[in-house]
Amino acid sequence: MTAEATTRDAAGERPIVDTTNGPVRGVDDGTVKVWKAVRYAAAPVGELRWRAPQPPQAWSEPADASRTGPVCPQPTDPRIPIDLGAPQGEDFLTLNVWAPSGTQPGDGKAVMVWVHGGAYILGSASQPLYQGRTLAADGDVVVVTVNYRLGALGFLELSTLGADTDQFATNVGLRDVLAALGWVRDNIAAFGGDPRRVTLFGESAGAGVVTTLLGSPAARGLFSAAIAQSSPVTSAYDAGRAARVAERFLEVLGVGAQDLGQLAGLPIETIVAASRTVFDEVPVQTPGRLAFAPIVDGDVVPDYPVSLARKGLTHPVPLIIGTNRNEAALFRWMKSPLMPIKAESITAMFAEIAAEQPSLQLPNRTDLEGTYRGRGKSKGLGLASDLGFRMPSIWFADGHRAAAPVHLYRFDFATPMLRVLRLHAAHATELPFVWGNLGAVRKDPMFALGGRAIGGVVSHRLRTRWTNFAKHHDPAGPTGEPNWRPYGADDRATLVIDKQDSVIDDLDADVRRAWGDDVLSFL
């Protein structure tokens, strides 16, 4: 690596950094330096569409890294009006880097690598919500956001139908994130980061990537700490389920299993449309299941993430893991079938589980009903939130704490408008506070009825904990905030994030006892 060079133009400083693939020219606005759309892998086009990520062709002249590049092609959903921050396109295996102005090569700042969520089919590294300016500058860290293959491009498992695993690799989306982490290891020192202090963090499907890679042999040594926000830990499936999705996908396309060679030449729009069809069908037919998600392939994913954690086979890196108090409220508000909220959907899911595994002892129905009865009309929401996010996170924490310190949290803060909308602390509502980008999403009603001032305080406190964890592996808050003890077998200390933080011992005692451990094998 050569030292960073700078040039100046009308836009300000233009820092140039040499990477292993070629030099990139970013922008320094006086607060942060940023390099956008930096390639970490070749465009997944043609014969590379479903292959493991390949190195990009090297370049010698500085590549312009001042603007966002294309993001993964994906279906649009009017119920989820995501601002992707850039147009869709097929040359999207890129990442964005932010560093505080004044950062020099070799400074060794802690690094935070973000994996976005979106049910493994939506989202991008360039969403305005994930602009790393505030997090990098205020936290004095280097921030990296990663694009990876989504939907059928990232999680269609054609090898389950006998396809060649070189041409159609398993868990391609996970392999993309692994390749990006490899890029960070090899290049981040030139941007002022420390490759030995890399915190992998993500939310929803992105957190699912985090908890899955915590048990992946391929990820060993690529990150030193992890943060999983609302991880669908148990949304990792076996090859049989993946095969059924792959068969349906080919049926929608009208392509036979013997004609897989045709897939490389199909228009990307055709692939995306088929992804959308299958994605919409699966949770209706099998409540609680996603069409596209990591699978246990015996390679990148040797076993289910919770099983690996309980067997002591996750990487020994410190972990922050937690959920929001009202996760399922977002799915009710969107009228989305992704989570089984209505009684009939929950009943159907349990019936499917019983049919698949008749010898399985499911949670005691009386205990479950007693736990949720007091919640009135919201008991379905509570059960869905716990089934999809809370309990899987607790199970993972219970296992991983034998390997490394775990800090468990629950995000409870809600603005007046979120309470009026009956969203409260719904799925993804913590994101603006983690990034410090309050009001970054257009037409966001979050602060329409006030609450921005206290929201800013909550955001500062949360960002301080996250960046302190990245820098010191200690999620200390600002002076005067309660000490967030590790989650232990005796006290099960849990940080509740609200207008004021509090640490509560065994916050989830009643829910944890009701669900028990026997349910793990079907999730």
- pLDDT for residue 77: 74
- pLDDT for residue 209: 98
Please list the active-site residues.
Answer: 204, 327, 427
The rounded Cα 371 to chain-centroid distance in angstroms is 29
The mean predicted confidence, pLDDT, of the chain is: 91
Q: At what angle do helices 205-213 and 172-187 cross, to 10 degrees?
A: 70
Taking the domains of the chain in order of start, what are their residue ranges? 65-522
Q: CB 56: neighbour CB atoms within 10 A?
A: 20
Burial 455-465 (b: 16+ CB within 10 A, else e): beebbbbbbbb
- pLDDT for residue 71: 98
Backbone conformation region of residue 278, classed left if phi is above 0, alpha if psi is from -120 to 50, else beta: alpha
- pLDDT for residue 510: 87
Sign, Cα dihedral of 366, 370, 371, 372: positive
- pLDDT for residue 359: 43
- pLDDT for residue 334: 85
Positions in the chain short of pLDDT 50: 1-2, 9-11, 356-357, 359-361, 518-523
pLDDT digits (tens, 9 = 90+) for 329-363: 998 888 888 877 776 777 776 666 555 445 434 56
Cβ distance 34 to 97 under 8 Å? yes
Which residue, among 177, 400, 401, has the nearest Cα to 307 in the 3D structure? 400
Q: Rounded to whole angstroms, what are the CA distances from 126 to 72, 108, 277, 443, 503?
A: 11, 25, 25, 18, 34
- pLDDT for residue 516: 67
Domain 65-522 has CATH 3.20.20.210: no
- pLDDT for residue 348: 72
